[in-house]
Amino acid sequence: MKTLFLHIILFYVLSLSFLFAERKDSVYKVFPEVKVEANKYSLAKEKVFSAYSVIDRKEIESENPLQISELLSKEPGIYIKNYGGSGGIKTLSLRGTSSSQSLILIEGMRFNSVQNSSLDFGVLPVSLLQSIDILHGGSSAIFGGSSIGGTINFNLVQSKKKLDVSFAASSFNEYCGSVSGGTQSGNSSFTFAAEYLNAKSDYPFTVRQFGKKKEYRRENADFENFNFMLNSKTYLDDWQLKTILLGRLSERGSPGPVLLAYLEPDDARLKEKEVSLIIKAEKKIDKDVFSSGLMCRHSYQSYYDSNSPNALRGDTISFFHTNAFQVNEQYSAQFNNLNIIYSIDAEFTDLRGDFLQPRTENYVSRLNTGLSIRCVTNAYDNGTLNLPIQIGGRYDIYSDIAGSPTGIAGMSIVLPELNLAIKSQAAYNYRAPSFNEMYYLNYGTADLYPERSTSLNMTLSYGDKIFDAEINTFLIDTKDQIVAVPKSPLTWSAQNMAAVLSRGVELVFSLALFARHIHIGGSYTIQSVIDNNSNSATYNSQVVYVPQEMLTAKFSANYSGYYFGINAEYNGFTYYLPENTYSSLLPAYCLLSINLSKTFSLGQTDIITKININNLLGERYTVIKNYPMPGRIIRLTLGLKLL
């Protein structure tokens, strides 16, 4: 593995060297021109053909969430599968797809779990984020595997303040503190940030036992999560260089399901350690742009459970080590009215653990290389009508599974004088089976092949200085989806047996009034996500834990340092069994939250006080069967910013 790592580093260095030669071709800008912050990775350039939204730092600070999942749940088409409390696992379903079918990026580098291809959004720190880009619709031909439902990119904070300190205290013994700061020297800037969350999460819940309601408090749901970041940016001649170091330490209790007799493990513990190094480089060559990225990532996970079935033979602790080494090279060349984007990606991942299939000898690895080319042009432009078009393809080669070709094509009709745009995109996407699905003990199947998906998206959008609105329609047809199939009363097996059809409409609007001091916005998603395998006993049934309807509404007002916001979030009923029986129905729920803040300015210092009330009405509800959610949560925050 060390030799492979050295080859990856060598490949990365050599790929930069040829660019010191200047290219002086005359080029013409390609429609549309999307301005993004220098050396900041953004998905905004893809919004020409697909639905796109962004959560910026201002909105993050106004909403003041404890965890990122609180922000994402208010976005159209996104449903958070929450196991309850701050320490409960929180995964994402985008347009009805599974948690492993959305690609997660940090600064443009792949960040899905090496082990299960998903991501727990409860462990990513809010205070370390500058913005979140959300691209709806499959884009595997652009970004590689897992981009079936969409792609989400997290950009990390680059502070211009000398010091930013915050402390929050919430209901159920939850505390969070963060600190960040930055400095600049010549052509270089440096940012540091850290966040510590300590939550006991001992919230009350009720259980009906033999016709009577009894109240208990959640046990073994505590959560400690510490994150840190060092971020540097340097401008060197025509180069922009960025280096990021990320680290995380976390430990949490792992309470089991709440059953009729209130049975749950009281000592299961999960410990995690993770460190990532990201190096990004960008160079402009006349109008062309070369960008390069390198990421090295290591994580360690250990799980203790004295009630595990393996405890009978003394195995109360399981552990996993994972490594990921990524290299991404991209060259964007412009020729008159044509933009051609070439990219090559290489990624090596491995997993070492004591709960893998015996034949693996507790170690598995994978090498993936992807090559892509994409062309974007403005086919017609007379000032009142623009017709941007894109077409692209990609091929991914894997060392342990079949290769995966993907493609994408899009066209938009833009009417600048009317502030209207009609966007359309078709894509052929895939997801590679995860290590867990192929090699986990008593579950993995080594001969799995990639999930295949075809997606169609169409968007009608209108936008001016005051009002924005979108109507998004989508269809995602996934074949060979990997599901767990029982092979004995005690064991399950991963198989390429499912087919899922997801169709829906998203309505989104926002309104800014009185010099943008008042904002009103909302979204409504209606979708049908069904089992589409005609040979299945649950054919045409609704996929479990996916609501048919989702509704969000928001009102906010800010003036002279005061901020007031109110949010409503409605999620329709779901089923927890594929048979969709009435007894397996989980009721719909509606959550109301209020945010209040006041900023006091004292010279070069801002003092910020905030109060958040989540689940204002104290609704008792469940997202995952037998995992109750907390009721009303009150959070008080005090912040200090030295400008």
d(CA 185, CA 638): 30
pLDDT at 551 exceeding the cut of 60: yes
Best CA proximity match to 143, nearest among 394, 323, 332: 394
What is the average per-residue pLDDT within 280-305? Answer: 94
* Residue 101 tokens, joined: 């079918």
18 pLDDT tier (thresholds 50, 70, 90): very low
Strands 467-486 and 109-110: unpaired
- 318 falls in which pLDDT band (50, 70, 90)? confident
Average pLDDT over residues 416-425: 96
Strands (E) in 382-450, as ranges, are 386-398, 404-415, 420-431
Name the residue type at position 340: I
* Amino acid residing at 388: P
In this structure, the number of other CB atoms found within 10 A of the CB of residue 187 comes to: 12
In a domain, 405, yes or no: yes
Residue 329: C-alpha distances to residues 11, 229, 245, 281 (Å): 10, 24, 20, 10
* pLDDT above 70 as % of the chain: 90
Alpha helices per DSSP H over 89-165: 140-143
Relative to beta strand 585-586, strand 174-185 is unpaired
pLDDT in tens, 249-265: 999 998 878 775 555 55
CB 404 within 8 A of CB 395: yes
> Residue 581: exposed, middle, or buried by beta-carbon count in 10 A (0-12, 13-18, 19+)?
exposed
In a domain, 320, yes or no: no
315 domain-assigned: no
Can you give the residue range of the structural domain that contains 219?
Answer: 2-277+286-310+326-642
Confidence (pLDDT) at 213: 82
Identify the pLDDT of residue 5.
Answer: 44
Report the C-alpha gap between 428 and 614 in whole angstroms.
Answer: 40
Residue 594 to residue 569: CA distance in whole angstroms: 12
pLDDT for the residue 47: 86
What's the CA gap between 449 and 50, in Å, rounded? 28
Q: What is the pLDDT of residue 40?
A: 60
Indicate whether 160 belongs to any domain.
yes
pLDDT score of 31: 37
Q: Identify whether 102 is part of a domain.
A: yes
Confidence class for position 46, pLDDT limits 50, 70, 90: confident
Place of tokens 């897992």: 146
Is it the case that residue 23 has pLDDT exceeding 80?
no
Four-point Cα dihedral 239, 240, 241, 242, nearest 10: -170
d(CA 39, CA 593): 36
Residues 103, 364: Cα–Cα separation, whole Å: 22
Q: What is the pLDDT of residues 146-204, one digit of tens each?
A: 999 999 999 998 866 689 999 999 999 999 999 999 998 888 999 999 999 999 999 99
Q: How confident is the model over 461-513, as pLDDT tens digits?
A: 999 999 999 999 999 999 999 999 888 777 889 999 899 999 999 999 999 99
pLDDT surpassing 60 at residue 620:
yes
Residue 34 pLDDT level (bands cut at 50, 70, 90): very low
pLDDT at 491: 80
Average pLDDT of the residues in 289-306: 93
Which residue matches tokens 């940016």? 233
Q: Assign 3-class secondary structure to 272-334.
A: EEEEEEEEEEEEEECCEEEEEEEEEEEEEEEEECCCCHHHHHCCCEEEEEEEEEEEEEEEEEE
**Considering the entire predicted model, what is its pTM?**
0.91
CB atoms near residue 207 (< 10 Å): 16
Tokens of 451: 């999930």
Q: Which residues pair with 492 in a beta bridge?
A: 486
Cα–Cα distance, 232 to 228 (Å, whole number) = 14
pLDDT at 312 exceeding the cut of 70: no
**Listed range (24-28, 38-42, 326-330) with the worst mean pLDDT:** 24-28
> pLDDT at residue 66 above 60?
yes
- Give CA–CA dist 148/141, Å, rounded: 10
We report the CATH number of the domain holding residue 298 as: 2.40.170.20
- Overall domain count for the chain: 1
If we measure between CA atoms, which residue out of 554, 476, 455, 561 comes closest to residue 511? 554
* Whether residue 32 has a cis bond before it, omega within 30° of 0: yes
What mean pLDDT value characterizes the chain? 89
**Pick the residue with more confidence: 570 or 30?**
570
Please state, in angstroms and as integers, the Cα–Cα distance from residue 321 to each residue in 141, 306, 437, following that order. Answer: 30, 21, 17
Q: Residue type for 222, please?
A: D
Ramachandran assignment for 548, one of left (phi > 0), alpha (psi -120 to 50 degrees), beta (any other): alpha
Average pLDDT over residues 599-624: 94
Distance CA 101, CA 82 (A): 17
The angle formed by the CA atoms of residues 92, 137 and 288, to the nearest 5 degrees, is 115
Residues 285-291, mean pLDDT to the nearest whole number: 92
Two structure tokens written together for 624: 């995952």
Statement: residue 385 has pLDDT above 60: yes
Other CB atoms within 10 Å distance of the CB of residue 14: 9
| Per-residue pLDDT, 395 | 98
Q: CB count, 10 Å around CB of 343?
A: 20
In this prediction, residue 36 carries a pLDDT of 41
CA 510, 512, 515: angle at the middle one, nearest 5? 170
User: pLDDT at residue 3 above 70?
Assistant: no
- Beta partners for 180? 164, 193
- Reading phi first (left if > 0) and then psi (alpha if -120 to 50, else beta), residue 17 is in alpha
Would 510 be classed as within a structural domain?
yes
Residues in the chain, total: 643
Residues 435, 400 contacting (CB under 8 angstroms): no
Question: Mind listing the pLDDT tens digit for each residue in 332-357?
Answer: 999 989 999 999 999 999 999 988 99
Tokens of 315: 């195995």
Ranked by mean pLDDT, the top range of 15-24, 419-428, 602-611 is 419-428
Which of 561 and 213 is assigned the larger pLDDT? 561
Whether residue 310 has pLDDT greater than 80: no
- SS3 call for 421: strand
Q: Which residues pair with 253 in a beta bridge?
A: 269
Residue type, 22: E
- pLDDT at site 105: 96
